[in-house]
Amino acid sequence: MSDLQRLLKESWTLVEEQQEKVAGYFYARIFLKHPGIRDMFPMTMDVQRARLLGALVTAVQTVDDPERFDEYLRALGRDHRKFQVVPEHYEVVGQ
């Protein structure tokens, strides 16, 4: 297991019990810093928060299988194109 894989798994273990709060904080932070992005999301965020958590869990579960991990993340990226997500939006998430 690489250092990055180990770090991802260890990091997830630290927040797993608080995942609902993590998802809420994640979106609140983005919308506070970049209010214009809020319009890209549904009014009710319950489903969206669950999708974020599902994506994180899948990433953590597949990180040991580079082919599946890569395939999953590529599919996730393709899915985001239908919502007019552009590279600049990813920069917002990474802040």
- The domain spans of the chain are 3-94
Average pLDDT over residues 18-33: 95
pLDDT of 42 above 90: yes
Average pLDDT over residues 45-64: 95
Sequence-distant (≥ 6) Cβ neighbours of residue 93 within 8 angstroms: 30
Does 3.40.50.300 match the CATH number of domain 3-94? no
Q: What is the mean pLDDT of the chain?
A: 92
